[in-house]
Amino acid sequence: MDEIVDQANVSGFKDPLKKQINGLFFNLWAFGSNSLVAWMPTRLGIDILSVPKVRLFNIENPESRVFHGQRQMEIDEFRQTSKLVDSEPMEIRLEFTIGDDEAGLTEAEVEEIFRNYATFKTDYRAVLLLDIVGFSKHTPEAQASQLSTLEFALNIAEESCKQKNLPIEMRRSTTGDGFYIWNRLTGPEADIALFVLMQLFLTYYSGLKRAITEKNAAPNIRTAAGLGSHYSFYAPGRDVLYTSDEYIVGDVTIDVARLIGKTNTHQIVIGAFSRPGKEGESPLTPERMMQVASEKLKEFEGMPLFGNPVEKFSSYITGPKRENGTFKNQKMRVIDKHGFEHICYNAKVNVFLEGDEPYYIGLQHSDLFGKAS
């Protein structure tokens, strides 16, 4: 009992120190005009590298430690990074120590706060874009209702994934008429989990569309999925020690945004990608991603869906029928409004239920190209 009280006292004692160093970082961040790149403790305080964001994204080697890994660096790496970003470190004296002294802050505590002011690059991450068709034609009340329905189905899908111990921590940001969705966790298994979440969301949302009687509460949507690189940054505050408000922008978000503009109502489009799989496994492509996600979905068979158990999931990439009766995974080429070419695939998710009509989610190949293609 005494130990618990002592820990609480230490935590309470450290709060002013955390607020003090957060205020220091906030001032150096300069309302978002700078990015804090690296730090290291010194005998009398802390050394910090700060770079204007307009210069940050023009460095010669964006794959360096500038955007990757822990922000605390050893002295040699700190000096190399300083040269790379062409910025002299600032030496700031503190009234407390950084390290193992209980009267100060630990390196981990400083790192956790510092990361709110840094910019990161992720080389591979799956991202979904959900778009409500005809959103601007509805009243503000209908729009709020529609976004709430999407959010409800997303939350149920995430909880279902967590119950099966899939590595998922869903993050989302609104586009006004829909959501970007990504997994805070990274790695091949995390990307597979997001594709599973996408298919569960589409399943739950189809159930809601069938069950909800209120007009326009469950609108028609279109879905684009992709996988690629992006930058991440956060929204810190002077009086906020930790934030989970993450924003992402980069190749993958641009790609799905361009694809959604060419996606039909009810359609599911997946952009072309290839990301390294787990060690010893083949790379994840759209075809293999759908295959692996489909295998994971077998764990969800039997789950109740508005009173009817799911008998079977069937998800796949569409294409024309071959002479031997099999189907080809058809690549599609689309040109966005800026004249850039994008390669993508059309996907389907079919959900068969016990005691009810199945859900056929997405468009068939013949819906896009005609029965003769």
Parse the chain into domains and list their residue ranges.
2-117, 122-369
Beta partners for residue 45, in sequence order? 93
Q: Are 99 and 69 in contact (CB under 8 A)?
A: no
pLDDT digits 0-9 by tens, 263-287? 999 999 999 999 998 888 889 999 9
From first to last of the 373 residues of the chain, give the pLDDT tens digit: 444 434 444 456 789 999 999 999 999 999 999 999 999 999 999 999 999 999 998 887 766 789 999 999 999 999 999 999 999 999 999 999 999 888 899 999 999 999 999 999 999 999 999 999 999 899 999 999 999 999 999 999 999 999 999 999 999 999 889 999 999 999 999 999 999 999 999 999 999 999 888 878 899 999 999 999 999 999 898 888 877 688 999 999 999 999 999 999 999 999 999 999 888 888 999 999 999 999 999 999 999 988 899 999 999 999 987 777 677 889 999 898 888 899 999 999 999 999 899 999 999 998 888 654 4
Around Cβ 295, how many Cβ atoms within 10 Å?
A: 11
Q: Which tokens sit at 177?
A: 């008429």
Residue 11: its pLDDT value, please? 55
Fold of 122-369: Alpha-Beta Plaits (3.30.70)
Strand residues in the chain grouped as ranges (E):
34-41, 45-52, 90-93, 120-132, 170-174, 178-183, 221-234, 246-249, 268-271, 304-305, 308-317, 331-335, 341-353, 359-362
74's tokens: 């050893």
Q: What is the pLDDT of residue 166?
A: 98
Mean pLDDT of the chain, nearest integer = 91
Tokens found for residue 315: 């998800």
Question: Which of 130, 157, 184, 181 is CA-nearest to residue 313?
Answer: 157
How is residue 119 written in tokens? 């910019």
Q: Cα(115)–Cα(72) distance, rounded to whole angstroms?
A: 9
Q: How far apart are CA 349 and CA 313, in angstroms?
A: 7
**E strands within 134-256?**
170-174, 178-183, 221-234, 246-249
pLDDT at 3: 45
Residue 192 has a pLDDT of 97
SS3 of 299, please?
helix
Residues 6+ apart with CB under 8 A from 185: 167, 168, 169, 193
pLDDT at 240: 83
Tell me the per-residue pLDDT of 106-141, one tens digit each, with 9 for 90 and over: 999 999 999 999 999 999 999 999 999 999 899 999
DSSP E strand stretches across 147-291:
170-174, 178-183, 221-234, 246-249, 268-271
